[in-house]
A and B are shown apart, each in its own frame.
Chain A
């Protein structure tokens, strides 16, 4: 479709205009750029050392056709800290991701999964999603496609981002340091087009980055590196995207995601088989978004609660016991009860309350106990998550929810991946998966270029990547946005009826559900 549009618009942009636009706009700088000396030339320079950027590097190093390419990665943070990250088995980071089977198989293919600490990941085989307003429910699992003689297939796998980043770093280290430069603790002070070097190559259309170490102690001059392909894996405010002058559109949801690491009640009497783990998500239209409880090992779980900014601030201010009671309530009580609980006067001074909390009665707990007696509960207890009993200290945090989509993922010698290209609502847990999908597609494009004599930074090469990813990401981003809006209509009006009807239909027609689940991969 996009290439059709391109073809249609082609005759109206003359080549000289292309060039004019290019030279005028291509600049990103926080300092002036000097020097016409020959910069060090790399095939792929990746700005950003998060899961997407490191994933790209690992994929390129793992593929025979691209393993000899000269690659560099620039990261502001200290990657040494990420490499030596470690936590004990009872504690889990609050930054976790739900990896789809296709993300996991990509990580297996490039040899990263072996480096992930398997004791800290948790696959789950079932997902319970329901509407807090109407009670309509859908269960996602692969039971309709799994024979009774084999184990239920995995819906997704929970992984701490730090665990994944550490695995990526050690996989990259395993590939040796030939043709590899990792600039940790380094910022990109400017990006500009290079120059035509007499008796040398003409780099006037190549991005040249000036690198400066963040540690102020070293006073060495900025290092200049030129990139055949500059990859922006540098997040929502991507400097690479600014250099390429790619516009981005979107909006803020005026919602925050509250995250926490929780411990669950020891006994899980519900499930006969301990091998089946379940993720729970309840849409709370009156409170601004869904609450989700995602399983982690050792009877712990990760909380992601998308809610209004005011509610998020309220939740973060609650002492642990009140917080736990509110989370348990959010999976069980009616919208009216919940709205009331989130407006209760919060304990005036948090510190004294928490110290003598063992004896005193927490008002939230009290409220929950009383209101539960008057709330009808689902017939099957397996449809409810186990009770939350504890919250890991310091793990309650929140982040703003946004929607962003770049107008294009590519520009001459520039490609955007991950959050630099798209930021979506986290309600389907797809953010990191889309980023890894980008990385897999871009690595494949670079491999195709390497085996077909193509220039990896050429637009003709990069449009293969954009054609692969742009529509896919836009579709999932918009689907999440629509779901968010649909489940923000409170009350029992026609919208609530329609979405419940839709959910019931999907749940009862295996064909449609199978289609959806395959689509989500």
Chain B
């Protein structure tokens, strides 16, 4: 059943567990485990990834301004910041921690809307090492550490499938008192599910039924109607091959990314992502959906914008460059 294990898995423990049926190759495993210790070094190998992070916030804000997910809690809240986030493949927590920092602490007075409108975030990664690094780093910021203690921010060392099969956690089910068997309850859903720099690391194993497409379909099952699945990845083009494989992974002093970070063959083009998410929505794999087929695409929105890294200046959103290299994409599930 739980055959599809996601993502970059890094350390030996996780490797053993995910070994037989993982969608992650041994190469990816050993590569990212070597990077683990320098994950948060601003001058380290993950520097380019750190520099991209603020643009993720910009892109999320642009999605929210296009269509805000409908409020889930009909209770009387004084805050417009009600969105619950799920970050899949959080790694060392670069994005998850920054999002947790944007959660404004509860206050008696009415609050102003934050760009991310975040109320809570759950971040998952199958790697024990990386989750530990993420938790240790989060403790270094009292604001984030307070969110960790209060439960508004949570790191889980688990796979996407674990989340889908697991029952919703007790503490977040204050309104319902479901005492039925865990297998019968649908998975907890989120307003925003994020998938940053993950898709290009998924191993396609047709024999085991694993593909980026099935992975995306699973992600969509965790998105509430009206919510967004937001990600970023790299297009499989000649320029992206030159930039990401030849130049970015070149030896010092040209290269900015450690050798072996990317495999160009696994890169995904925007049209492919769009087709896969449509397929995923139409299959209505969450079992509870009333609608299926083409009706599932009603209210769906597709959004895509390229980003380009200019050495010395950083990342810039460049609309139209999505078919060249790095790009952000987002899909909104119909209400």
The one of A15, A205, A226 that contacts B44, using a Cβ cutoff of 8 Å? A15
A201 and B145 contact, Cβ closer than 8 Å, known pairs A64-B112, A451-B115, A454-B98: yes
A453-B98, A460-B42, A460-B50 known; A203 vs B57 contact (CB < 8 Å): no
Question: Which of A4-12, A299-307, A371-379, A472-480 lines the interface with chain B?
Answer: A4-12
List which A4-37 residues lie within 8 A (CB) of chain B. Answer: 4, 6-8, 10-11, 13, 15, 18
CB of B312 within 8 Å of the partner chain: yes
- Contact between chains at B43 and A448 (CB < 8 Å): no
**Assembly CA distance A6 to B252 (angstroms):** 12
- A460 surroundings in chain B (CB, below 8 A): 42, 50-51
Tally chain A residues at the interface, Cβ within 8 Å.
32
Tell me if A518 counts as interface (CB < 8 A to partner B).
no
Q: In the complex, what residues of B have CB within 8 A of residue A79's CB?
A: none
Task: Tell whether A1 is near chain B: CB-to-CB under 8 Å.
Answer: yes
Q: How far is the CA of A459 from the CA of B43 in the complex (A)?
A: 9
Q: Are A18 and B41 neighbours in the complex by a CB distance under 8 Å?
A: yes
Q: Check: B27 CB closer than 8 A to any chain A CB.
A: no
Cβ of A382 within 8 Å of any chain B Cβ, yes or no, is no
- Which B residues are in CB contact (< 8 Å) with A206? 140
Q: Interface on chain A toward B: helix, strand, loop, or mixed SS?
A: mixed
Q: Interface size (B, Cβ < 8 Å)?
A: 35
A455 / chain B contacts, CB cutoff of 8 Å: 101, 141
Q: CA separation between A64 and B112, bound complex, in Å?
A: 10
In this complex, which of A4, A11, A201, A206 has the most chain B Cβ atoms within 10 angstroms of its Cβ? A201
Answer yes or no: B77 CB below 8 A from chain A CBs.
no
Q: Mark A445-470, 1 if CB is under 8 A from B, else 0.
A: 00010011111001110010000000
Residues of A within 8 A of B112 (CB): 64
When chains A and B are docked, how far (Å) is the Cα of A454 from the Cα of B53?
9
In the complex formed, the residue of B with least CB distance to A19 is B41
Closest CB of chain A to B197's CB: distance in Å?
16
CB pair B140 A202 closer than 8 Å? yes
Partner of A458, one of B42, B43, B136, B312: B42
Question: Is A200 an interface residue when CB atoms closer than 8 A count as contact?
Answer: yes
Q: Are A15 and B41 in contact (CB under 8 A)?
A: yes
CA distance A202 to B42 in the complex (A): 19
B316 CB-CB contact with A under 8 Å = no
Report chain B residues within 8 Å CB of A102: none
Contact between B311 and A4, CB atoms less than 8 A apart: yes
- Does B102 touch A at the CB level, under 8 Å? yes
Considering only CB atoms, which chain A residue lies closest to B142 in the complex? A201
Against A, the Cβ 8 Å flags (1 = close, 0 = not) of B83-126 are 00000000000000111111000000000101110000000000
User: Within residues 196 to 211 of chain A, which ones have a CB less than 8 A from any CB in chain B?
Assistant: 200-206
> Are A7 and B54 in touch, CB under 8 angstroms?
no
Within 8 A of A (CB), among B217-254: 252-253
The answer to whether A41 has its CB under 8 Å from any CB of chain B is yes
B256 within 8 A of A: yes
Distance, CA A11 to CA B45, complexed state (A) = 9
Q: Which of these, A15, A203, A454, contacts B101 with CB under 8 Å? A: A454
Q: Which of A7, A200, A226, A459 gathers most chain B CB within 10 Å?
A: A7
Q: Mark A189-230, 1 if CB is under 8 A from B, else 0.
A: 000000000001111111000000000000000000010100
Min distance, Cβ A1 to any Cβ of chain B, angstroms = 7
- Determine the distance from Cα of A10 to Cα of B256 in the docked complex, in whole angstroms: 10
Q: Would you call B58 an interface residue if the criterion is a C-beta within 8 Å of the partner chain's C-beta atoms?
A: yes
Contact A453 B43 (CB under 8 A): no
Given A15-B37, A15-B44, A205-B140, A452 and B54 touching (CB < 8 A)?
A: yes
Residues of chain A contacted by B291 (CB below 8 angstroms): none
A460 and B42 CA atoms in complex are apart in Å by 6
Q: Within the complex, what minimum Cβ distance (angstroms) separates A35 from chain B?
A: 17
A226 to B143, CA, bound (A): 13
Q: Which residues of B contact A64 (CB under 8 A)?
A: 112
The distance in angstroms between the C-alpha atoms of A119 and B51, with both chains bound, is: 47
Is A11 in contact with B252, judged by CB distance below 8 angstroms?
Answer: yes
- B72 at the A/B interface (Cβ < 8 Å)? no
CB of B47 within 8 Å of the partner chain? yes
B3 on the interface (CB 8 Å rule)?
no
- The reply to whether the CB of B38 lies closer than 8 angstroms to some CB of chain A is yes
Complex Cα gap A454–B115 (Å): 13
User: If A4-B312, A15-B38 touch, does A10 touch B47 (CB 8 Å cutoff)?
Assistant: yes
Residues of A within 8 A of B42 (CB): 458-460, 463
Known pairs A451-B115, A452-B54, A453-B99; A7 contacts B311 (CB<8 A): yes
**Given A18-B43, A453-B98, also A200-B145 (CB < 8 A):** yes
Q: Which residues of A contact B115 (CB under 8 A)?
A: 451-452
CB of B139 closer than 8 Å to a CB of A: yes
CA distance A455 to B142 in the complex (A): 11
A453 touches which of B116, B139, B140, B252 (Cβ 8 Å) = B116
CB pair A203 B54 closer than 8 Å: no
Q: Is the CB of A453 within 8 A of B311?
A: no
Minimum CB–CB distance from A332 to chain B (whole Å) comes to 51
Give CA–CA (A11, B34) in the complex, Å. Answer: 15
| Residue A3 interfacial (CB < 8 Å) | yes
Contact B140 A452 (CB under 8 A): no
Minimum CB–CB distance for A471 against chain B, Å: 12
Is A453 within 8 A of B57, CB to CB?
Answer: yes
CB <8 Å contact, A3 and B312: yes
- Minimum CB–CB distance for B80 against chain A, Å: 14
* Interchain nearest-CB distance for A240 vs B (Å): 20
A4 to B42 CA separation, bound complex (whole angstroms): 14
Contact with B139, one of A6, A202, A226, A448 (Cβ below 8 angstroms): A202
Residues of chain A contacted by B256 (CB below 8 angstroms): 7
Docked complex Cα distance between A455 and B115 (Å): 16
Q: Select the residue from B37, B98, B100 with max chain A CB neighbours within 10 A.
A: B98
Rounded to whole Å, the gap between the CB of B94 and the closest CB of chain A is: 10
A453 and B41 within 8 A (CB): no
Shortest beta-carbon distance, A20 to chain B, in Å?
Answer: 13
Q: Is the CB of B37 within 8 A of A7?
A: no
For A452, the chain B residues whose CB sits under 8 A away are: 53-54, 57-58, 98, 115
Task: Specify which chain B residues have a CB less than 8 angstroms from the CB of A4 in the assembled complex.
Answer: 311-312
A226 to B112, CA, bound (A): 27
Interfacial chain B residues near A7, Cβ < 8 Å: 47, 253, 256, 311-312
Complex CA gap A4/B313 in Å reads 9
Given contacts A15-B37, A15-B38, A41-B142, contact A6 B54 (CB under 8 A): no
| A452, closest chain B residue (CB) | B54
Bound: A200/B102 CA distance, A: 20
Contacts of B145 in A (CB 8 A): 200-202
Q: Are B51 and A453 in contact (CB under 8 A)?
A: no
Q: Are A6 and B253 in contact (CB under 8 A)?
A: no
Chain B residues with CB under 8 Å of A18's CB are 41, 43
A-B residue pairs, 5 tightest by C-beta:
A453-B98, A452-B54, A201-B142, A201-B145, A453-B102
Supplied contacts A11-B252, A452-B58, 19 more A-B pairs, CB within 8 Å: A3-B312, A4-B312, A7-B311, A15-B44, A41-B142, A200-B142, A201-B140, A202-B139, A202-B145, A204-B140, A451-B57, A452-B54, A452-B57, A453-B54, A453-B101, A453-B102, A453-B116, A454-B101, A459-B43
- Which positions in B face A, CB cutoff 8 Å? 37-38, 41-44, 47, 50-51, 53-54, 57-58, 97-102, 112, 114-116, 136, 139-142, 145-146, 252-253, 256, 311-312
Question: What are 6 of the A-B contact pairs (CB < 8 Å)?
Answer: A64-B112, A226-B142, A451-B57, A453-B54, A453-B101, A453-B116
